[in-house]
Structure 1
Amino acid sequence: MMGALDGLRILDLSRILAGPTATQLLGDFGADIIKVERPGLGDDTRAWGPPFVEGGDGPTQESAYYLCANRNKRSIAVDIAKPEGAQTVRELLATCDVLVENFKPGGLDKYGLSYSDLKEQFPRLVYCSISGFGQTGPNSEKPGYDLLAQAYGGIMSLTGEPEGEPMKVAVGIADVMTGMYASNAILAALRHRDKMDEGQHIDIALVDCQIAWLINEGTNYLTSKILPQRRGNQHPNIVPYQVFEMADGHAVVAVGNDAQFERFCTLIRREELASDPKYVTNAGRLVNREALIATLTETLSKLERDWLISGMEANKIPGGPINQLDDVFASDQVAAREMKITMPHSGAASGEVDLIGNPVKFSKTPVTYRRAPPTCGADTDDILAELAATQKE
């Protein structure tokens, strides 16, 4: 079955996570992704292990980190630092709709592969540049790493326990969200190209994206001019909405409105809290957060986790367990939604690798998993043969 982006070809000069996340998503939707890698080395993340895929003679050069963002791609090994390598890239672009790169601003100029170098020869090309701070501004030359983006963009100042140190999000979320913004921008630019018959340059930065997804906390500050405080697992605008320690574990309570709060108080046999004027409304619960949370913490510490969770479910109160990853991937929900997939992989001793599935469910053009993350340069001969055949036509 054809994917939504069947017939679209993307030349991927990116590495690490933000660019590969964007191109993997587009590949899942049906696009043909040609991943350009340094001969013998490839994407930096190939070496970001352990864990590595286990081959017949021990660990391979394919890390789990690399696997997470590189399926549905073909790999060609090309040294763009050499004139013949840069020329190969230009020749491939004649068959491509999109180029994605994440070099430092100006980093491709010396190879003649910048947007300004290519836009006249390829006027319909959508060229997406991903960097740490963007192509302009006083910090444009600084390197782009997820940790730096989380620090500079403010999310670390909001994450962690109140008395603890600023904390990054456990996964590379600045990179991942930049990839999401980039894929959306590419699709929008392609829509414009199809209407106006012209490509364009997309300039997208990790720090800009991270600032964009400060969302309510960022707007809270802009509205009040009061700096948000780290609250651990508590919510800045809703109470109670956090983790509580039970008698035998931890549970999430996510009371989203006053009616849910009343039902929650009835469930835990603290009906007087729901009728207390200080707590009747969410605004009141925010003002009196400390006293309410102290009371709830004491009450919930004496209750069993599973009893609370089943009671909340029965009474339509949002909440639930805090799953470890073994719980997550063994769950019926993950199986039903196909969020864990298995793909053939020639380098794995078992002949296959487990990956995380794509969350998008199309009714007409379903996501397809056509290619496992490739070994470095695995498709070089095939891609060059295709290119030669195209040039003869």
Structure 2
Amino acid sequence: MSTSSPTPLPLSGIRVLDLSRVLAGPWCTQTLADLGADVIKVERPLRNGSGGDDTRGWGPPFLTGRDGEDTAEAAYYLGANRNKRSITVDIAQPEGQALIRRLAAQCDVFIENFKVGDMARYGLDAATLRALYPRLVYCSVTGFGQTGPYADRAGYDYAIQGIGGLMSVTGERDDLPGGGPQKVGVAVADLFTGMYASVAILAALRHRDATGQGQAVDMALLDTQVAMLANLGANFLATGVAPARAGNAHQNIVPYQVFETSDGHMILAVGNDGQFARFCEVAGRPELAADPRFARNADRVRHRAVLVPLLAELIAARPKQRWLSALEAAKVPCGAINDLAEVFADPQVQSRGMTVPMPHPLADTLRVVASPMKLSDTPVQYRRAPPLLGEHTDEVLAEFGWSDAERAELRRQKAI
């Protein structure tokens, strides 16, 4: 299932021991794996019908097998675990804990997303492992971080979107139909935390290579969500005024929102005054760009309650494709609102290779969403399909020095 790469990947030679599950941690380690790291995914052994990463069972949909029936591999799991090897270890047992410590001795990165204190009970916490292996980069991913009054709480993306302010600025205005807080359609706090964790780990590896010393990386979903408030967080810190929900409009730019055409909806994303003037020409109302209420973006923001209804009436008079063609020709930013079938059929998405077929032991072909990272000299390689539970236990342990007899004893002890 693996293929050789003619050019060494950027993270070739980096070994990652991955004790994370669900999304934030696996998203981080999939990114590292795409860049060439050897990611060893440690999962719970199958016991009484359950085991492994929770997301293996988060379906339907499930991968369809060669017999046309659902396999046990949920699409959710498949989306975050390619290019990894899976081993099963029971870290609740002393033998399993000793096994993990022995593996960590030969790894560069250790990542986990257990609740604060859990890893210390197993002797697998950052202080213990870093004392044993000073070059190790140890990354913990939790809801609220290793410190602070909320440190002991479990953290879930949905709750973090609320606690971290994202839902206060997402959704239609309260005074309009459908108003009220909304979560984002994908688990953005998890995903961004995974991405920030990837960056932090790479920085820690760079420091390790320069100094010989690893370090602990403390990643929290809430920290990430607060950082992700970006310009809205900056707006609040500058004014002391909490931004309200604006639906599909922009807090700082007008017109920058969804408009209804005569046969659907489109996005108009005017980013500067020149673009607004060109939009007005296309719309047949050039005088609007000269109106002192609308000439500059700051004026348009102040007078949005007057301008937006005028634009809505203009845009509703023509069909969507006519608007999109004319605005694109005039270099005015705009766009359709695609469902996922339209996304994956889009010629630009296809041209950029944003889906990849991979062989899978249970299906003829598995299609996954590709990495967006485009590197000119060391492109991402799709070496391994998301692994079956424990698919590589014997392979990895043999590679790390366990004999046949030692592995048999671990199985007898139910440590693997």
TM over 0.5: yes
Of 13, 18, 25, 2:31 maps to 25
SS of the equivalent of 1:388 reads coil
Of 191, 198, 215, 1:200 maps to 215
In the alignment, what sits opposite 1:35? 41
Say if 2:56 is the partner of 1:46: yes
SS of the equivalent of 2:401 reads helix
Of 395, 399, 409, 1:386 maps to 399
In the alignment, what sits opposite 1:161? 172
Say which is worse superposed, 121-130 or 86-95, in terms of deviation.
86-95
Matches of 2:134 and 2:106, distance apart in 1: 13
Question: Cα offset for 1:389?
Answer: 6.1
Matches of 1:384 and 1:57, distance apart in 2: 34
Matches of 2:91 and 2:18, distance apart in 1: 13
Amino acid at match of 1:325: L
Say if 2:382 is the partner of 1:372: no
Counterparts of 1:194-343 in structure 2 under 5 Å? 194-343=209-358
Matches of 2:153 and 2:304, distance apart in 1: 41
Matches of 1:325 and 1:100, distance apart in 2: 32
Maintained 8 Å contact 1:125/1:199: yes
SS of the equivalent of 1:119 reads helix
Counterparts of 1:339-350 in structure 2 under 5 Å? 339-348=354-363
Counterparts of 1:164-175 in structure 2 under 5 Å? 164-175=179-190
Unaligned runs of 5+ residues in structure 2 are 1-6, 407-416
- Residue by residue over 1:114-133, the C-alpha shift from the partner in whole angstroms, topping out at 9 and shown as x without a partner, is 01111111110000000000
Amino acid at match of 1:369: Y
Maintained 8 Å contact 1:20/1:179: yes
Matches of 1:272 and 1:291, distance apart in 2: 15
Question: Cα offset for 1:298?
Answer: 1.1
Q: What is the aligned residue count?
A: 390
Matches of 1:339 and 1:388, distance apart in 2: 38
Matches of 1:226 and 1:121, distance apart in 2: 49
- Residue by residue over 1:152-205, the C-alpha shift from the partner in whole angstroms, topping out at 9 and shown as x without a partner, is 100000000002121110000000000000000000000000011001100010
Say if 2:97 is the partner of 1:91: no
Matches of 2:399 and 2:131, distance apart in 1: 24
Question: Cα offset for 1:304?
Answer: 0.9
Amino acid at match of 1:174: A
Amino acid at match of 2:55: T
Matches of 1:7 and 1:363, distance apart in 2: 20
Which portions of structure 1, spanning 4 or more consecutive aligned residues, are displaced by more than 3 angstroms?
Answer: none
Matches of 1:35 and 1:370, distance apart in 2: 15
Amino acid at match of 1:364: D
Maintained 8 Å contact 1:79/1:85: yes
Matches of 1:232 and 1:63, distance apart in 2: 33
Amino acid at match of 1:151: G
Question: Cα offset for 1:57?
Answer: 6.2
In the alignment, what sits opposite 2:91? 80
Of 3, 10, 16, 1:4 maps to 10
Q: Report the RMSD for the aligned CA atoms in angstroms.
A: 1.3
Question: Cα offset for 1:334?
Answer: 1.5
In the alignment, what sits opposite 1:355? 368
SS of the equivalent of 1:129 reads strand
Matches of 1:374 and 1:162, distance apart in 2: 44
Question: Cα offset for 1:272?
Answer: 2.0
Question: Cα offset for 1:333?
Answer: 1.1
Matches of 2:347 and 2:318, distance apart in 1: 27
Amino acid at match of 2:39: I
Maintained 8 Å contact 1:132/1:143: yes
Amino acid at match of 2:308: I
Amino acid at match of 2:130: K
Question: Cα offset for 1:323?
Answer: 1.1
Matches of 2:169 and 2:276, distance apart in 1: 26
- Residue by residue over 1:65-122, the C-alpha shift from the partner in whole angstroms, topping out at 9 and shown as x without a partner, is 1011100000001000011111111111111000000001111111110011111111
In the alignment, what sits opposite 1:144? 155
Say which is worse superposed, 184-193 or 268-277, in terms of deviation.
268-277
Q: Identity over the aligned pairs, expressed in percent?
A: 54
Matches of 2:259 and 2:22, distance apart in 1: 36
- Residue by residue over 1:36-71, the C-alpha shift from the partner in whole angstroms, topping out at 9 and shown as x without a partner, is 000011000111110000122621111111011100
Unaligned runs of 5+ residues in structure 1 are none
Question: Cα offset for 1:263?
Answer: 0.6
In the superposition, the TM-score normalised over structure 1's length comes to 0.97
Question: Cα offset for 1:364?
Answer: 1.3
